[in-house]
Amino acid sequence: MKIAVARENRQGESRVAMVPELVGKLTDLGYEVLVEPEAGTRAEYADALYVEAGAVISERALPEADVVLGVNALSSDRARQLRDGAAVLSFLPVNSSHDLVEDLRDIGVTAFAMELVPRISRAQSMDALSSQALVSGYRCAIVAAGLLRRFFPLNMTAAGTVQPAQVVVLGAGVAGLQAIATAKRLGAVVQAYDVRAAAAEEIRSMGAKAIDLELETLEGTGGYAREMTEDRAQRQMDALAPYVANADALITTAAVPGRQAPMLVTAAMVEQMKPGSVVVDLAAESGGNVEGSVPGQIIRIGHAQVWGGDNVASQMPGPASKLYAQNLVSLLTLMTSEGEFAPDFEDEVVAGAAVTHAGRIVHEPTREAIEGPAGPDEHLDPPNDQEDEK
Q: Please identify, among the stretches 10-18, 142-150, 253-261, 349-357, the one whose residues bind ligand NAD according to the rule CB under 6 A.
A: 253-261
User: Shortest approach of ligand NAD to residue 253 CB, angstroms?
Assistant: 6
Contact between 173 and ligand NAD (CB under 6 A)? yes
Q: Total number of residues binding ligand NAD (CB under 6 A)?
A: 29
Q: Tell the smallest beta-carbon distance from residue 121 to ligand NAD (Å).
A: 6
Q: CA torsion angle for 174, 140, 165, 181 (degrees, to 10)?
A: 30
Rule CB under 6 A: say whether 384 interacts with ligand NAD: no
Q: Which is nearer to ligand NAD, 305 or 327 (CB)?
A: 327
**CA 69 → CA 39, 72, 91, 310, distances in Å?**
11, 9, 10, 22
Query: Is residue 283 helix, strand or coil?
Result: helix
Catalytic residue list contains 224: yes
Taking CB under 6 A as the binding criterion, the range among 48-56, 102-110, 127-135, 315-323 that sits at the site for ligand NAD is 127-135
Catalytic residue among 78, 80, 119, 232: 119
Q: Which C-beta is closer to ligand NAD: that of 18 or that of 177? A: 177
SS3 103: helix
Cα gap 223→323, rounded to integer Å: 24
3-class SS of residue 183: helix
Smallest gap from residue 218 Cβ to ligand NAD (A): 7
Q: By CB under 6 A, is residue 180 in contact with ligand NAD?
A: no
Residue 124 bears catalytic tag: yes
Q: Does 224 bind ligand NAD (CB under 6 A)?
A: yes
Concatenated DSSP letters for 17-75? S--HHHHHHHHHHT-EEEE-TTTTGGGT--HHHHHHTT-EE-TTHHHH-SEEE-SSPPP
Residue 195 in contact with ligand NAD, rule: CB under 6 A: yes
We find the least distance from the C-beta atom of residue 283 to ligand NAD, in angstroms, to be: 8
Burial group, residue 223, by CB count within 10 angstroms (0-12, 13-18, 19+): exposed
By CB under 6 A, residue 194 contacts ligand NAD: yes
- Kindly name the residue from 45, 90, 103, 127 that is annotated as catalytic: 127
Residues 128-167 that bind ligand NAD (CB under 6 A): 129-130, 133
Whether residue 22 contacts residue 325, with contact meaning beta carbons closer than 8 Å, is answered with: yes
User: Rounded to whole angstroms, how far apart are CA atoms 331 and 349?
Assistant: 9
Q: Is 253 in the site for ligand NAD (CB under 6 A)?
A: yes
CA distances from 200 to 44, 171, 185 (A): 39, 11, 19
Neighbours of 197 (CB within 10 A): 12
Active site residue 119: yes
Which region, judged by CB under 6 A, interacts with ligand NAD, from 88-96, 104-112, 217-225, 307-315? Answer: 217-225
Q: Around 337, how many Cα atoms within 13 Å sit in the side-chain half-sphere? A: 8
Verify binding: residue 264, ligand NAD, rule CB under 6 A. Answer: yes
Determine if 119 is a binding residue for ligand NAD (CB under 6 A).
Answer: yes
Q: Does 281 bind ligand NAD (CB under 6 A)?
A: no
By C-beta, is 3 or 225 nearer to ligand NAD?
Answer: 225
User: Shortest distance, CB of residue 181 to ligand NAD, whole angstroms?
Assistant: 13
Q: Using CA atoms, how far apart are residues 250 and 144, in angstroms rounded to an integer?
A: 8
Q: Are 180 and 210 in contact (CB under 8 A)?
A: no
CB neighbour burial string for 57-84, b if at least 16 within 10 angstroms, e if fewer: bbeebbebbbbbbbbbbbeeebbebbee
359 forms part of the interface with ligand NAD (CB under 6 A):
no
Give the burial class of 372: count Cβ atoms within 10 A of its Cβ; 0-12 exposed, 13-18 middle, 19 or more buried: exposed
CB of 46 to ligand NAD, least distance (A): 33
Residues that are catalytic: 119, 124, 127, 130, 224
Q: Name the site residues for ligand NAD (rule: CB under 6 A).
A: 119, 124, 127, 129-130, 133, 170-176, 193-196, 199, 223-225, 228, 253-257, 262, 264
